[in-house]
Amino acid sequence: MLVVNGFIENGVFIPEQPLVGIEGRQRAVLRIEHEEEKLERVIAWKEFSQAIRASDEILVGEPQRLCLFT
């Protein structure tokens, strides 16, 4: 997977760097970040982090390894 940062101006995507090594027709996904959504995610992660730090729950046992691919 290739991640390309850039911006959209007048409906045209302009990459930060030239795209090289892409031949023929390729599938692509364009994800548009709105600053409001980005800020909401940052706030949510901060709240999550603060809740963990403020917790007085005692953890027991050993951590389990997560296997995402079976």
pLDDT at 70: 63
Q: Where are the domains of the chain?
A: 6-54
Q: What is the DSSP string of 45-62?
A: HHHHHHHHHH--PPP-SP
With cut-offs at 50, 70 and 90, classify the pLDDT of residue 23.
confident
Identify the pLDDT of residue 44: 93
Confidence of residue 48 (pLDDT cuts 50, 70, 90): very high
pLDDT band at 36 (very low <50, low <70, confident <90, very high): confident
What is the reported pLDDT for 26? 86
Q: What secondary structure letter does DSSP report for 36?
A: H
Strand partners, 14: 7
- Tally helices (H) and strands (E) across the chain: 1, 2
